[in-house]
Amino acid sequence: MGSKTQRLRPSANLVTITFSRMTASYNPQEIEKKWQQRWAEDWLYGVSETSAKPKWYALTMFPYTSGDLHIGHWYAMAPSDVHARFKRMQGYNVLHPMGFDAFGLPAENAAISRGIHPFVWTMQNVDNMRRQLKSIGAIYDWSREVITCLPDYYKWTQWFFLKLYEKGLAYRGKAQVNWCPRCQTVLANEQVVDGFCERCGAAVIRRDLEQWFFRITKYADELMEHNGIDWPERIKIMQRNWVGKSTGTEISFALDHPGVEEKEMRVFTTRPDTTFGVTFMVLAPEHPLVDKLTSPEKKAEVEEYVARSRRQTEIERLSAEREKDGVFIGAYVTNRLNGERVPIWIADYVLLSYGTGAVMGVPAHDERDFAFAQRYNLLIRVVVAPPGWQRGELEEAYTEPGIMVNSGNFNGLPSQQGIEAVSDFLEEKGWGKRAVTYRLRDWLISRQRYWGAPIPMIYCPNCGIVPVPEEDLPVLLPEDAEFKPTGESPLKYHEQFVNTTCPRCSAPAKRETDTMDTFMCSSWYFLRYASPDCDNAAFDAERVKYWLPVDLYTGGAEHAVMHLFYARFFIKALRDMGLVDFDEPFSRLFNQGVIIVERQKMSKSRGNVITPDEYVSELGADAVRAYLMFVAPWEQGGEWDDSGISGISRWLNRVWRLVLEGYDQGVEVSSEEKQKAQRALSRIAHQTIRKVTQDLEKLRLNTMIAALMEFTNYLAKVKKEEGAVSVSAWKEASDTLLLLLAPTAPHLAEELWQQTGHGYSIHNQSWPKWDEELAKDEELTLVVQVNGKLRDRMVVPASITEDEAKNTALNRQRVKSYIGGKKVLKTIYVPGRLVNLVVR
RNA sequence: GCCGGGGUGGCGGAAUUGGCAGACGCACCGGACUUAAAAUCCGGCGGACUUAGUCCUUGUGGGUUCGAGUCCCACUCCCGGCACCA
């Protein structure tokens, strides 16, 4: 374990560095503190909407208020700040805000386990995290900070709830929750361990509870599209899979059961071509028809099965590994296509919440139905013939296309055509219709918790569900709630909170005691940053119009579906209300990779959290910023390994000395030589500007740092030959280095800018532009290959023609020796790259 | 099982999208400076061999091509997501 402590400590010997000449040494602690103070005093990074520059909204996913920023947070924030600074120097009016996602379960757990109020716990964490964030040296304009647990924020979260309710997008419905019968409380999924209550060990059951939902499914089709936005393909695919659209047919099976008014049972299928192969019917155990149809002699068995499946958690029930079981309920439906009577079963592999909650069993052509039929000896009838089928029994379900058999008039038809033909026929007869079904469910936002925004609804015995009037917002969280360790919302037991009067009829009424899912808070925070001081609306429409949509949104891929999906839904709903005028909140999305430690994600519970603070105090924020960018491609992330940070620290020290030591005239060289050296210097400088600029645009930050290092190395080489270039040429190159370095190492660059006689501040300078002419190579190295094998290199003028290149290659001594007396069959010339001679 | 991403020196990673494999760093080795150490500076650093050179080398096997880390096929291992969605 001692080795672990060592790992977490920066190597101690990097701090003291002495110089050959008399130059004050690089002291990051001192200059970082100094400049951070100065920037704050001058409000250097203050943002307003009155700028004539084009706007740029650079957003980093705000952190949850867990307590400490670890190196993973820095990995999200430092590189995005570098990019935002780059855009700022490029002449944009940049909004790069920061805030806190402050509601959520951990605060409440802290309250229960340590007796500290969630508000106090959260705000202490905010203070500490804000202090850490300031040490990054980012351009956050702290006057725009947003904290979601403060009433001036959640007031508007509640307001959005009311708007969604008004538009019919929020509704109350039944949903199953994990329920502990001993604790008498709702449990979150993570509190259920192998089907048992984490706290008391009782078997957890699933229970229906009235909850609030958002009708996100209304936007299912639009959410599958990502038109006009630049997002990683991977994330778009995940979101499309999440929506899970499937097109098929809803088929009606005839029901004729004494005393039951329903005369049909509907199923959804993507394979109507297999309808003649239906040999049983399966309902979800919770299906409303189960009770009505079960025959008296099956009642006990069916009830037991239903109770058993309720006892299982969703996760267990959905596990594909589980063997399929079920119970025949003693009733039948009729398949209208062939008039056959088909037995009805219940089985928990059928989900009530998908399709119609009922499926037709076609064991020959569906793997699940096949397994089920085998287990209960149900008939397996082939209706789509596999290639070369000899009318024998199937070993496994055949799910591929084939020729229809045993299917009445449809026999002989290819099954893909059969899908259409059977659907047409069913529609003609009125026995079914084409339908679309989604995997996506409506968004359940109710949480039986204290630390969240209260849902602004009132239950009146006379008027029913009544929304809290807008002017009564916010519905404040009572401060003095009791935190009993039950896991149930303390609001339920808070008399003053619960008891109210109906806004409509003034009768005594009760408040909703559930709070909202915290994803609701993070679905609109990026709007609040545009006008955080706005107190008569959630946001100032004009300022939102100016800033939104977000130009570049960066954060972890773990939010690929939930957060990003909900935020998109939110914006589409607001658009349809006329509150915003854009379709998508985030124009470009970039996911940075994850920093792992000992092959695992960093987390407090694992005890493998790496704090940046020690590195910052030893080596400076600039070194940590640069190292995080250099250590791996940003989108990839990787294992945290601090052994390489010394290389960055050495480099920054080298820059310090290089720039401050200045450049002497040195020995005079001929003007021709001098010109050549100066041309080379300016060429390298312009190539570096090009490389650094392009890498920044593409967020390829590791190679950007490498380019800056190479430029530094080149300058060091030039400096060693003092006199080779003029003092002014040197100065220009050294200034370029500082400007290119400014986003990455803002403190160091500022200090050196000032010490080399420039005005304050380097961060208000324009980003250098490259000149394609000056960046052009005058000569280049052509590779000569013989039969694809590298045999020679030749330095040639960049202007060389194809013929010249080929001739030069053929006349090279080394090349000749490989050609010998053989015949040159073909010569391939790739300009700027190679000549390849094919000989035999 | 399905979807997505990946496998390059001792290590992190480069490679203008089919054209010099190993940029830039770390670690290591040698040298200079020093009483000494650190720091700094200079040089070396994929492997093998018959070492001014030649051959091999980008997870494995095959293919396309003048030319493959890059494209195609098969396999394999690792990471992320979904996981009975009819």
pLDDT class for A5, splitting at 50, 70, 90?
A: very low
Q: What are the phi and psi torsion angles at A421 (to 5°)?
A: -60, -45
List Cβ neighbours of A133 (8 Å cut-off, separation of 6 or more).
A69, A77, A98, A140
pLDDT class for A176, splitting at 50, 70, 90?
A: confident
Q: From the CA of A647 to the C1' of B26: give the distance in Å.
A: 7
> DSSP assignment of A65-89, as one string?
--S---HHHHHHHHHHHHHHHHHHH
Q: A201 or A264: which carries more pLDDT confidence?
A: A264
pLDDT digits (tens, 9 = 90+) for A600-621: 888 777 788 889 999 999 999 9
Model confidence at A319: pLDDT above 60: no
Per-residue pLDDT at A597:
85
Residue with tokens 């602690």: A29
In chain A, the percentage of residues whose pLDDT exceeds 70 is 94
Per-residue pLDDT at A814:
86
pLDDT digits (tens, 9 = 90+) for A515-559: 999 999 999 999 999 999 999 999 999 999 999 999 999 999 888
In chain A, the percentage of residues whose pLDDT exceeds 90 is 73
Residue with tokens 């967020």: A699
pLDDT digits (tens, 9 = 90+) for A81-137: 999 999 999 999 999 999 999 999 888 888 888 889 999 999 999 999 999 999 999
Per-residue pLDDT at A485:
58
Model confidence at A197: pLDDT above 80: no
Q: Which nucleotide is nearest to A353 (CA to C1')?
A: B85
Model confidence at A824: pLDDT above 90: no
Q: Which nucleotide is nearest to A648 (CA to C1')?
A: B25
Per-residue pLDDT at A10:
37
Residue with tokens 């155990």: A285
Q: From residue A568, give the alpha-carbon distance in Å to each of A408, A435, A527.
A: 48, 25, 12
Per-residue pLDDT at A662:
85
Average pLDDT over every residue of A391-411: 92
Burial class of residue A263 in the structure, from the number of CB atoms within 10 Å of its CB (0-12 exposed, 13-18 middle, 19+ buried): exposed
Residue with tokens 């899908």: A419
Model confidence at A240: pLDDT above 60: yes
Instruction: Quickly count: other Cβ atoms within 10 Å of residue A54's Cβ.
Output: 12
Enter the DSSP assignment of A492.
Answer: G
* Residue nearest B1, CA–C1′ metric: A320
pLDDT digits (tens, 9 = 90+) for A489-517: 789 889 999 999 999 999 999 999 999 99
Q: Which nucleotide is nearest to A248 (CA to C1')?
A: B86
Burial class of residue A256 in the structure, from the number of CB atoms within 10 Å of its CB (0-12 exposed, 13-18 middle, 19+ buried): exposed
Instruction: Quickly count: other Cβ atoms within 10 Å of residue A735's Cβ.
Output: 19
Are A103 and A96 in contact by the 8 Å Cβ rule? The answer is no
Per-residue pLDDT at A484:
67
* Residue nearest B78, CA–C1′ metric: A599
H-helix or E-strand spanning residue A527: helix A525-528
Are A140 and A100 in contact by the 8 Å Cβ rule? The answer is no
Q: From the CA of A828 to the C1' of B66: give the distance in Å.
A: 7
* Residue nearest B20, CA–C1′ metric: A783
Burial class of residue A759 in the structure, from the number of CB atoms within 10 Å of its CB (0-12 exposed, 13-18 middle, 19+ buried): exposed
* Average pLDDT score over chain A: 90
Where do runs of H (alpha helix) occur along A294-444? 299-311, 314-318, 367-376, 415-429
Q: From the CA of A601 to the C1' of B69: give the distance in Å.
A: 29
Per-residue pLDDT at A278:
97
Q: From the CA of A814 to the C1' of B73: give the distance in Å.
A: 39
Model confidence at A180: pLDDT above 90: no
Q: From the CA of A666 to the C1' of B83: give the distance in Å.
A: 72
Q: A19 or A320: which carries more pLDDT confidence?
A: A320
Q: Give the side-chain half-sphere CA count within 13 A for A573.
A: 26
Average pLDDT over every residue of A326-351: 95
Q: Which nucleotide is nearest to A645 (CA to C1')?
A: B26
Q: A15 or A768: which carries more pLDDT confidence?
A: A768
* Residue nearest B4, CA–C1′ metric: A234
- Both tokens assigned to A561: 């579906």
Enter the DSSP assignment of A161.
Answer: H
Tell me what ipTM this predicted complex has: 0.95
Q: Which nucleotide is nearest to A837 (CA to C1')?
A: B66
* Residue nearest B79, CA–C1′ metric: A599
Model confidence at A663: pLDDT above 90: no
Q: Which nucleotide is nearest to A647 (CA to C1')?
A: B25
Average pLDDT over every residue of A277-304: 95
Per-residue pLDDT at A312:
66
* Residue nearest B67, CA–C1′ metric: A788
Q: From the CA of A567 to the C1' of B74: give the distance in Å.
A: 43
Per-residue pLDDT at A12:
33
Q: Which nucleotide is nearest to A708 (CA to C1')?
A: B24
Q: Are strands A552-556 and A55-60 parallel, antiparallel or unpaired?
A: parallel
Q: From residue A541, give the alpha-carbon distance in Å to each of A44, A217, A571.
A: 26, 27, 14
Model confidence at A4: pLDDT above 90: no
pLDDT digits (tens, 9 = 90+) for A461-495: 999 999 999 999 999 999 988 876 565 678 988 99
Q: Among A561, A549, A546, A542, which residue's Cα sits nearest to residue A524?
A: A549
Average pLDDT over every residue of A744-759: 96
State how far the Cα of A682 lies from the Cα of A674, in Å rounded to an integer: 12
Q: Which nucleotide is nearest to A269 (CA to C1')?
A: B86
Q: From the CA of A467 to the C1' of B57: give the distance in Å.
A: 71
Q: From the CA of A497 to the C1' of B62: give the distance in Å.
A: 73
Average pLDDT over every residue of A56-71: 94
Enumerate the nucleotides of strand B whose atoms come under 7 Å of any protein CB.
1, 3-5, 11-16, 19-21, 23-27, 38-42, 54-55, 66-68, 80-86
pLDDT class for A840, splitting at 50, 70, 90?
A: confident
